Structure 1
């Protein structure tokens, strides 16, 4: 084991030395380099920062990294230059852009310079799944990996005080700056955007001016990084019965949307639903939905900012708790939990909105949420102030 550990870090350190050849190219002060989910899409927090720059600071050049399988099909604004993840141009621009924005981690072989600014927005808030060093399987290499990452990162965006303690400090071992601005992607939840609701309903063919409700089912990721599964349980969500329960509870027409996690390969669900997996913006789906069903996904934190009803469907709860773990005991979560379809149906029919609001408000206060309508402005302001110190 020790031999493998030293071989790994030896190879990484060797490649870091080789890639320093890119130091011969000067850093471009007007360049921002973006990557979301390691090149899997044009989305999440990096997208919101990118669009803010496009609207407010057009003088900056923007480069986005995309994996080869989506490079030709991904849709981006015309002012953005696309590069293939891992290519020569990828290395050139990541090594010469003054500012780098990501919602994940880069390979440790990339020797980011001290005169560059790397902001990690991460891609989830709340108090749900344990990650990295707080997970069930920390390792010596993992510890080394995060120490190496922390030499590259200038700051983490923080969604709450609790997030700083549990994720940034304890899980990622990061001791540097945190930007107390909230996640840029969540700014939309503090605004009135009727055009977004109309656009989304038109996309799915749902009438805009009726009293119907949109119920969104958005489960989290399970499994390895490239082949996730929908659930570790054989009991999948009974869409038909859940749909009927919501119509009985709220006495109105209900449309059921299903959004699979981007890493889930076998993501099919039985029943009649509107497939929202390919819809480009998850935050639009959350903003426009009236009710959310999830399991351990951080989208519950996002959705909770609007004080809309949230239900947890977790048939593999025990397995997930044993294999991954949670920062807060599930009994402390402010949402009703169904460990099977019957429990979920019972929680829908007996749902007390006033009790939910009280529990959700108390939870947000305990975690000391930083989420607000100006998250992107505050994040970019921090970056510009940092640029002046370099």
Structure 2
């Protein structure tokens, strides 16, 4: 297997050399390239930066999204991931924004700005080289290439900066501790009726309360799975007892997971914006997902359902002790329902505040604005 790793590294270097042919094309100073989840959608932090830039600086920039689709906006173009047009767009854009970094095969030009917004906050399950159980020099070298090419890495907390500088091999001085653009409205609020928008999308009555279950994936990225053990009906009964009203149970799978069962729940996986679901939810349930951090910013009731906590801890491990996370942990349906029925608002608020203090919260509610100013300052 070692020879395959070295072959991979050799191919990366050949690609870097070959793509330098595109240096003959000038970098377009007003061109911004955006990628979310490796071109699989128009979402997450890049989307919120894009919206802010378009609204604040109308007509000043050309936007290119890595996405297999057709844009209906005059200043925005879509390019299919991995296509020749995609490579040309990357090599000729002044600013490149991604929530997952850029491939090591891309030879960054001196006149380009690479921004990694990442796709999660807090410090929970291990990532990057910290997640590689059998570290090989080639794996480290590939991560090092990507890390050195990153000019700005957005951070939601001081703890995140500390762990990701090692995990992604990015110099610590390049972390911009301003929070995540997608979380700005979770911090500051919004005048838009997002709750009404979400309920209308799912055909729910305005007075219906929602609980959102959004677990992370299991296994490797390419073969990711998730099989829910959560008793949705029992959960709803507990919610009715504690909070009253009628409830709808929404479930959203991780985008790595191709198929899962939604028995007893409403499929929320195709809803375009996860942050809107979080904003609209009255209660949130997850496991080891970084959405723990996002939802903690709302200070609404949250719970962690982790029946495989011991096994997951052995396989992936964590940056911080799960007992210090923002929400209480249940390892069974009985424990979860008990936590719901005994929910205390003041205790919950205190636990969230302690968690944010422990990680040293850096969310500003102005992350999109701060990133936009950095882009404007780059010459």
Report the TM range for the smaller structure's normalisation.
over 0.9
More moved, 260-269 vs 98-107: 260-269
For the 8 Å contact 2:64–2:77, the answer to whether it is kept is: yes
CA deviation after TM superposition for structure 1 residue 151, in Å? 2.6
Q: What TM-score comes out, normalization by structure 1 length?
A: 0.92
Determine helix, strand or coil for the equivalent of 1:126.
coil
Q: How many positions carry a matched residue from both structures? A: 375
The separation in 2 between residues aligned to 1:3 and 1:376, in whole angstroms, is 43
Match of 1:206 among 204, 207, 216: 204
Is 1:305 aligned with 2:297? yes
For the 8 Å contact 2:296–2:326, the answer to whether it is kept is: no
Is 1:13 aligned with 2:22? no
Matched with 2:62 is: 61
CA deviation after TM superposition for structure 1 residue 180, in Å? 1.8
More moved, 94-103 vs 13-22: 13-22
Determine helix, strand or coil for the equivalent of 1:345.
helix
CA deviation after TM superposition for structure 1 residue 374, in Å? 1.1
CA deviation map 1:343-384 (0-9, x unaligned) = 111111112221111111011122111112211001111222
For the 8 Å contact 1:114–1:152, the answer to whether it is kept is: no
Is 1:261 aligned with 2:258? no
Matched with 1:350 is: 342
CA deviation after TM superposition for structure 1 residue 2, in Å? 4.6
CA deviation after TM superposition for structure 1 residue 277, in Å? 0.8
Matched with 1:182 is: 179
Match of 1:230 among 226, 229, 233: 226
Matched with 2:166 is: 170
Is 1:296 aligned with 2:288? yes
More moved, 327-336 vs 99-108: 327-336
Match of 2:111 among 100, 112, 115: 115
240 and 217 in structure 1: CA distance in 2 versus 1, 3 angstrom threshold: same
Matched with 1:341 is: 333
For the 8 Å contact 1:314–1:339, the answer to whether it is kept is: yes
CA deviation map 1:82-139 (0-9, x unaligned) = 1111111111110000000000022211111121000000000112110112225133
Determine helix, strand or coil for the equivalent of 1:82.
strand
Matched with 2:142 is: 145
Determine helix, strand or coil for the equivalent of 1:266.
coil
Matched with 1:318 is: 310
Tell me how large the CA RMSD over aligned residues is: 1.6
Match of 2:99 among 100, 103, 107: 103
77 and 200 in structure 1: CA distance in 2 versus 1, 3 angstrom threshold: farther
Matched with 1:81 is: 77
Determine helix, strand or coil for the equivalent of 2:210.
strand
| Unaligned runs of at least 5 residues, structure 2 | none
Q: What TM-score comes out, normalization by structure 2 length?
A: 0.95
CA deviation after TM superposition for structure 1 residue 140, in Å? 2.2
Match of 2:214 among 197, 218, 223: 218
For the 8 Å contact 1:156–1:179, the answer to whether it is kept is: yes
For the 8 Å contact 1:136–1:325, the answer to whether it is kept is: no
Determine helix, strand or coil for the equivalent of 1:157.
strand
Matched with 1:37 is: 37
For the 8 Å contact 2:305–2:331, the answer to whether it is kept is: yes
Is 1:371 aligned with 2:372? no
For the 8 Å contact 1:32–1:62, the answer to whether it is kept is: yes
Matched with 1:160 is: 157
For the 8 Å contact 2:64–2:78, the answer to whether it is kept is: yes
For the 8 Å contact 1:182–1:375, the answer to whether it is kept is: yes
For the 8 Å contact 1:136–1:323, the answer to whether it is kept is: no
Matched with 1:197 is: 195
225 and 345 in structure 1: CA distance in 2 versus 1, 3 angstrom threshold: same
323 and 77 in structure 1: CA distance in 2 versus 1, 3 angstrom threshold: farther
CA deviation map 1:189-234 (0-9, x unaligned) = 12133422221111112222x3x42110001122222332114xxx
More moved, 116-125 vs 15-24: 15-24
For the 8 Å contact 1:66–1:85, the answer to whether it is kept is: yes
CA deviation map 1:22-81 (0-9, x unaligned) = 0010100000000000001000000001111111112100000114xxx35xx7645310
CA deviation map 1:312-355 (0-9, x unaligned) = 01111112111111111112223111111111111111122211
194 and 10 in structure 1: CA distance in 2 versus 1, 3 angstrom threshold: closer
